[in-house]
Structures are given as C-alpha cells and as structure tokens.
Chain A
Amino acid sequence: MAGDKSEILQGTLDLMVLKTLETMGPLHGYGIARRIEQISEEALQINQGTIYASLVRLMQRGWISGAWGTSDNNRKAKFYSITRAGRKQLHTEARNWERISGVIGRVLGIAERG
C-alpha cells in the first residue's frame, strides 16, 4: 500500500535526521539536507523540502528542539538539535534497524544460495 511505503520512508528519513543531528550537533534545515546527501554520496537525491515534514514530526514528538539563531554567513536561521529523548529514541531505532536489516540480509543471502 502507498501509505505503508511512505511510512517506512518517513521513518527512515526521520532516523537519518536524528542521526545527523546526533553527529553534527545543531544544524539548520539546509545543513541537514546537505549532510544527508553527502553521507549518502549523493545517492539519495531527495527534494530537500521533504525534510521539513520530518523535522515537524520529530519536534512534535519531542525528539529534537528548534531555535532561531544566526548562520555562518550571518543569516537568521532555525537551528535544530537532538534532545535526550531523541538520543534514546535514536538508539532504540538504530538497534531495530540493525536487527531488521540483518534478518532481511540473511533471508536474501539464503535465497541467493538456495
């Protein structure tokens, strides 16, 4: 179903945003988008705007917080940072992700050999 797919995608994007904020510290939307693109070696070409929905969702859950600040080139921008609850959530989610991807990998591996 279309809904399920987007939910998974949303979930992964949220996870990536969280991870980015954990590693990089406070960042504005552009920074987060850039970082995700760089890390994925430009493989993940998203509309950068989609991360804003992710940011709103994470804010509403209290996993990140946002505040207006000044960027490197003296522009007023909203900076997002991960909260303690966000870190906890990130670890849980990351473990989940490892487990699932491990399972999927094993399943796919067996299928290949079989």
Chain B
Amino acid sequence: MFGWIRLFASRTRAWVSPHQVDREFEHELDNHLAMLTEENLSRGLAPEKAKRAARIRLGGQTQLKETNRELHGLPFLETFLRDIRFALRMLRKNAGFTAVAVLTLALGIGANTAIFSVVYAVLLKPLPFANPDQLFTAFQANTQQGIAETGCSYPNFEEWRAQNHVFSELAGIVAHQLTLTGRGEPSVVNTSVVTPELFTLLDVKPLKGRVFFPQDGKQGAAPVVLVSEDLWRGRFGRDPGIIGTSIDLDKRPFTVIGILPAAFRTPFFNTRQEVWIPLVQDPVFSAFMPQRGVHLLPVLVRLKAAVSVVQAQAEMDAISGRLAAEFPAENSGWTVRLVPLQKEIVGDVRTELLVLLGAVGLVLLIACANIANLLLSRATSRSKEIAVRTTLGAGRVRIIRQLLSETAVLGLLGGIVGIALAYWGVKALSSLLPSSLPQMNPIRVDYFVLGFALLLSAIASVAFGLVPAMFAANADIQNTLREGARSGESRNRRRARSFLAIAEISLAMVLLVTAGLLLRSFARLTSVGPGFDTQHLIKADISLPQFQYSTPQQWAAFSEKFLAGIQSDPGLQDSAVVVPRPIVDPNVSLPFDIVGNPPSSEGASRTASYVSVSPDYFRVMAIPLLAGRVFNQHDVSSAPRVSIISEAMARLYFPNQNPLGKQITFGFPRGSGGATREIIGIVGNVRDVALGQDPGAMMYVPFAQAPLWGANLVVKSTLSTSSVAAAIRQEVQKIDKDLPVTDVRKMPDLIDASVAQPRFRMFLLGLFAVMALVLAATGIFGVISYSVSRRTNEIGIRVALGASRKTILGMILREILIVTLAGLAVGLPSALVASHLVGHMLFNVSANDPATLAGVAFVLAAVAALAGYIPARRAMRVDPMVALRHE
C-alpha cells in the first residue's frame, strides 16, 4: 500500500518537473562515462579509443534516458495529456473546422439544455415541499353524472378528516380574487382560500408572524390573513410592524398574522398568490360550507409514512360508500380519486414539453451527424498521417484513442459554449413561457441541468467521434502510403457519409413537417374571426366588494349608474357591460329547457353559454343581428323577460323552426323554476370559449333582468388605453371611491395572449426546424463539395475524354438527388409518426396534411439542390489540364 503511494508520489514528482529528472540522470551518466574512460585510460588505451569503449560499455544513452523517463512517468495520464495537447494543436491548426464544429455542437447542446431546464423544473424536479411524493390531491368524481374531477363539499371534507386513518393531514384550497383597499389605490389581489391545515401539511414556515392555527378555521373566529412577501415588500413598503395591523378585503377588515416567503408556491395555482384567508372568512365560499351537495373544495392530502396509495384509495372508497349510504341525496354515485400532486400540477403540459424535448433532441442528432460528416472528410485527408503513425507502431486502439481525444476536446468545447448559450436561452425562454406553464420550481440552469449538459456533450462526442475514428484506424495503410494523399475515398466511408447526409435530411424533414403543421394550425387559429370586431376594443374590470354589494339589485343598480356615467363621456359612448366576456373570461355554461318540449333526459341535457349584457353590447361588439330585435332600455326587471340566442343555438335546438317567440326556462339549478324567457332575437355566432373552439350555443339576457356579480366593461374607443382607464376610474370613484378598476387592456392583445401556448410551441418548433434545415443544408454542402474535390481527378479525365459540362453537372446533381430522395423516403414515414404525436395540438389541419408534406419535401429538395449547386458548379468548371496535373 505504502509502496504504491511512494511509487505514485515519485512518479508524480518526476512528472511535475521532468526536466530536472532528465538533467540529473544525464549528469549521472556523464559521470559514469568519465569513470569508465578513466578506467580504460589506466589500462593504456588511447584517449579516443578509451572514450569509445566507455560508450559501448555503458550502452545507448538515448535509449537509457528514454527508459528512465518512462520509469519515472505516469504513462496513462501522460499519453492522455499528450493526446489532448495534440488535439488542441490540431484543432487550432484547423480553426475553420473547429469553429464550425464547436458552433454546431454548441447550438445543439445549448438548445437542449435550455429546454431541459424547463422540463427539469416542471416535470422532473420534486415539488418544493417536504417529502413531495407523499402529497396527493383527492378529487371527487361521479361517473353517473359524467363528472371526472371536481372538488369536495366541506361537510364531506370534515367526514374525510374524521374517518380516515391513512392521511397524516388533509387541507382544502380554492382561489379567487378579492378587492384590497386602504393604504394606496384599491386593487384586486389573488386570494387563496384555505383550511388552516394547509400550512402544516406543506410544512411552510412563515417569514414573519405565524401561519393559521386550527381555531382560525372555526365558525366565529376573528378574520385573519397571511400576506405574501412580494405584497409586503411592494404595497406595504416592508413595513416591519405589519403583523397585527388590519387590511380590508372586499371592504371587510382582516388582521395580518404572518408573511409567507416569496419562494412559497401555492399548489394548483399558476398565478402568484398574494393573500391567504381561512375558508370560513371568505365572502363567497363560506356561504356554501354547510351544503353537502356543493363540490367546490379541491383537497390536498399527505399520506402517512408507511401507507401506500393503494391502501389510501381503498380507505377513501370505503368512506365514500359509507357517506353515500348515510347521505344518499348528496353522495350517491360520488367517488374519490387520488392523483399525485405533481401529476395534477403538471397536467397536459407534460406532452407539450416532451414534444419540445424530442424536437430539440433531433436538432442535436442532426448536429452530431454534421460533425461526424466533417470528421469523416477530415479523417480522409489525414489518412496519410494515420498510416504513418500505424507504420511507426501505433496500434489500432492507440489511434482510436487519439482521435477520440480530439472529438472529446471538441465535445467539451461545444459543451462549454453550449452552456453559455443555454444561460442566455433560458433567459430568453422565460419571457416566452406561456402563463399556463406551472412553475412550482424556478426555471434555471442549476447543477443538475449543468450535469445534463456535460453528459450530453460527452455522449455527443462519442456519437459523432467513434465511427469516423474507427474508419480512420481501419484504413488500408499500404494503399494509402503508396498512392499518397490523393487516394480516393474508401467505398465504406463514402457510404457512411451518404448515410449521414440521408439521416440529416430525414431528421430535418420530421422537424419541418411538425413545425409546418403547427405553423399552419396557428395561422388558421389566428385568422379565425372571433365573431366580433376587436378593433379599438378595450376591456376593464370593476370588482364589487362582496360584503357591500351582495344582492343582484345592488349589482344592477351599480352598473346602470356606472354605465350612464361612462356613456356621458364623449370618448366612451360605445361602452357596454357584459358578464362574462367572450374568450377572456371563463364562460358559464348552463342547462335549460324549452317550454312545450319534453324536458331533456339527465344524461343529454341542453346547455348553452349564458351571458348577461347591457343593451348596447351588440352594437359595441359589432355582433350582427340576424332576426328579431336586440335589447333596449325597456327590457328592465319589471318588463317581460326576454333573451337573444346565437345562430348556433338556433340551429342546434330549433332545427327547421323559427325560434322567435319560443319560450325557454334558463335557470339554475335545473328544475328550480327559473324564469321563463321569450326569445326575441337571433345574433351571429361568437367564439365564447377560445379562438380554437367552434362557437357553441349561446344565450344573452339583459343585465337589468339578470345581473351577475361584477361589472365587466367593454369600450370601443380610439383613445389610448391609459386615458380610457383614467376616465373609467374617475366615473367609478364618483360612485364609490374604494372600488378598484383593474386590467384595463386592449381586447386584441388579450385574444393574442389567449393563444400564447400554441404560439410558444409553434415558435420553438419553428426555430428548431430552421436550425435543422440550416444544419442539413451545410451537411449536404459538405458531402457534395468534399465528393467533388475528391473527384477532381476523375472529372478532369472525363472532361478530357469529351464529357460535356452538362454531363458533369448532371452527374453531381444526380448524386444530390439520390441522397435527397433517400432522405425524403426515410423522412416521410418518420414525419407522419411525429405529426400524429402532435395531432391533438392541431387546429383545422390534418396530421397528414398533404400541402404541408409536399411543401416540406419541396423546401428540402430546393435547399439540398442549392447546397449542392455551389460545389457542382465548381465541378463543372474543372479544367482537365489543371485537374490532371494536380496529381
């Protein structure tokens, strides 16, 4: 053991200062020689002869020195370092090649690392809570009613808590927005409404103060609130004495008891939550707490340490059964479904991200193929060097090792530049990410992602380095040396190069087809008319505090007064109140019955989107009236109840009839005897849910007859958004100075934002496809121009023998054509597989869209022809005399 260490130490010392070891040894040998010479002289030899004899006795000095050096060295490490030094020298010598290869690889690795950092943060990294794998969501489902996933009622939640033995903690959580007043402008804050156990369940420590205690969730408890660190730093100016003070939410005082750290993310909700209040204090949800039939509360659970999800599910099944027996009216048919929290949070983003990761992986593959191709051509020009090395005694393994060292250095350089690109890419990506992307963990290049990048560059360098190195090491030495560097490329190597070019084209085709489909789909999505005119349309939200404005009469009175005020402003004449607005607000879909028709069966109920509007709505939005009349000032609560339906609703529920004058009952819950309304008009269709969703059946009611909470405004105005906001604020504050006016934005911008996710995926895939196309083009250019330069001789002979320039051009173009066609032939089926993977993301475009396929094939062929044209021209211009003399 010690011997080994001493050996290593001695060798390392020699390795660190090799020159000193050499010098000492030289000195020693000189001494030895001198002594031998003296001995010979004393025997009576002549000085010259004495010296010679001494040298012979001692033996070859160079060899002795070499042996000495070897004995002192660390052979493996030394060869390795020599290889690296040599590799660096070679790479420096071929600066152009190195730059192209490093840049290509860096692009591939950078893009992969950037995308991976998103995938890692969203899909792979455990949620930022203690023991995240114990966290599940418990949803209620009712297959009889076709409900797959909904919350739990509060009374059932209490039963779950009391009866289960499998969870260490359960908590309910919902979110909405409340109005925050006092201390500055009134504003709307994202509010999490929770049961107090949430914070023990997630093991959250407050930045200051305390989290909720169980008694804070009891009926009659004092209203308390937790605020976020961001809110505290921003609105409250880091007030150190905020704990214990009171803030107003929806005009009701809450005592601040704690500040939650900025790093804390409330599960489920993508938006940053700003305040947390106990469920019992919430103006909306607390009203439903006693009702066992209202399923509003998503529940978060933590499994006990030794309990499996199967056991937990069995226990919840048993509890559901007991509850159904005990309360059949509210609970029969309802079951519980446990879903891992991470899975629930990630949702359908998973496929989206995996598609992106796959796409960017293809880009790296193409990059590798490109570099392998470059290396292959370089290995051909280096075949003489390698042949010489082999003759001088280098083994096959030794040569492969040397060549692999070169690619490893290339890979490492590419990796380093790539990581730099990734840092920049993640920054650029963060500004592009759609808000629908859950970000429980921050997206950044951390150690894990760095490790991934390095691993990737290592794998990549083996991927693009091994095959060329093996080809090089297998070269036929004798032929190479005999014919010199001018020897033609071996058949296998040429085949390998063509294979790589074909692979590049087919991979590029996969990406181009996918990107092309997404592009077409996006173009169709954004060119689709929403059914109303968005030009100069501005929206604004006015939140009415629930405690103050709690009755429909108050809502109607407010919006009437408010709208009258707004419309008196000459710039804001074209304004209307509408709840909910199409696309930008969540739609309200309600069941209805037609008077005189048999009520629909439970399973197949008639439903329509329900919208409450002020009379001018259709004019402001430019929604065309197709039949009958629109609402007017006389359709008030005392007048007969009326409604207007959309064209789609007329077609769907009144086929071959005139809906005008028909009566419908449109109230909720069903059968509760909601008001009967006469249909007085039919208007054009509007895409109420999303641009990508066909217009559904819609029904409009006068706001004055059926007010909904809130006064959401749409204004058609050529004024700037800020002056519209100022004017609205002024009118609102004339009525109530504590009402916040928020989210004053241009409708076209919001509709644009509603397609952020398809735009994001289209943009990234498009970017990758362009990268792939450029890489494939350079790949083809490389293959063809190399082949031309190798064949200069042959072309010269052909021309000398009478081949026309056209024939030569045809010959080269045929080579390009064969490679391209083969690439397309392999690419087409692969592209179809890929396009079906993204089929569900397409809007109005088939996954087999022939136009896209043909277009991509054409683009690829054109690019290939263009890439090959430059070298082909060079071949055409070959002067037979020069070419033949070239030998």
User: Which residues of A pack against B, CB within 8 Å?
Assistant: 28-30, 33-34, 47-50, 52-53, 56-57, 59-62, 71, 73, 75-78
Contacts and interface: CB of A to CB of B under 8 A. Distances in A.
B31 interface: yes
A52 B68 contact: yes
A56 B28 CA distance: 12
Contacts of B3: 61-62
A59 B68 CA distance: 12
Nearest to B33: A30
B61 interface: yes
A59 B34 contact: no
B72 interface: yes
Interface in B18-45: 24-25, 27-29, 31-32, 34-36, 38-39
A75 B34 contact: yes
B32 A30 contact: yes
A29 B28 CA distance: 8
A34 B38 CA distance: 13
B677 to A, nearest CB: 102
A31 B164 CA distance: 92
A47 B59 contact: yes
Nearest to B25: A52
B59 A78 contact: no
A49 B31 CA distance: 12
B59 A60 contact: no
A22 to B, nearest CB: 19
A33 B6 CA distance: 26
B71 interface: yes
A70 B302 CA distance: 82
Interface of B: 2-3, 6-7, 10-11, 24-25, 27-29, 31-32, 34-36, 38-39, 57-61, 64, 67-68, 71-72
Nearest to B11: A60
7 contacts: A28-B32, A29-B28, A47-B57, A61-B6, A62-B2, A76-B31, A77-B28
Contacts of A47: 57-59
Contacts of A29: 28, 31-32
A78 B28 contact: yes
Nearest to B7: A60
Contacts of B39: 34
A98 to B, nearest CB: 24
Contact of A52 (B28, B34, B57): B28
Contacts of A75: 31, 34-35
Nearest to A46: B59
A9 B67 CA distance: 16
Given A29-B28, A30-B35, A78-B28, A49 B7 contact: no
A61 B32 CA distance: 23
A50 B57 CA distance: 10
Nearest to B63: A49
B7 A61 contact: yes
Contacts of A76: 27, 31
A49 B60 contact: yes
B67 A53 contact: yes
A49 B36 contact: no
A53 B68 contact: yes
Contacts of A71: 31, 35
A38 to B, nearest CB: 12
A75 B39 CA distance: 15
A48 B57 contact: yes
A26 to B, nearest CB: 14
A47 B10 CA distance: 26
Nearest to A49: B59
B6 A50 contact: no
A57 B71 contact: yes
Contacts of B67: 52-53
A56 B71 contact: yes
A49 B65 CA distance: 10
Contact of B64 (A28, A30, A49, A60): A49
B2 to A, nearest CB: 8
Contacts of B35: 28, 30, 71, 75
Contacts of A53: 64, 67-68, 71
A62 B27 CA distance: 22
A60 B71 contact: yes
Contacts of B2: 62
Contacts of A52: 25, 28-29, 64, 67-68
B28 A48 contact: no
A48 B53 CA distance: 12
A16 B64 CA distance: 20
A56 B32 contact: no
- 9 tightest A-B CB contacts, nearest first: A47-B59, A49-B59, A30-B35, A49-B64, A56-B71, A49-B58, A30-B32, A60-B7, A77-B31
A57 B11 CA distance: 11
Given A29-B32, A30-B31, A77-B31, A48 B68 contact: no
Contacts of A77: 28, 31
B67 to A, nearest CB: 5
A60 B58 CA distance: 22
Nearest to A75: B31
Highest count of chain B CB atoms <10 Å: which of A48, A71, A73, A78 = A48
Contacts of A48: 32, 36, 57-59
A100 to B, nearest CB: 23
Given A29-B31, A30-B36, A75-B34, 4 more contacts: A50-B59, A59-B10, A62-B6, A71-B31
Contacts of A57: 71
Nearest to B67: A53
B27 to A, nearest CB: 8
Nearest to B60: A49
Contacts of B38: 73
Nearest to B61: A49
A29 B59 CA distance: 14
B86 to A, nearest CB: 27
Nearest to B35: A30
A78 B23 CA distance: 13
B689 to A, nearest CB: 81
Nearest to A31: B35
Contacts of B25: 52
Contacts of A33: 32
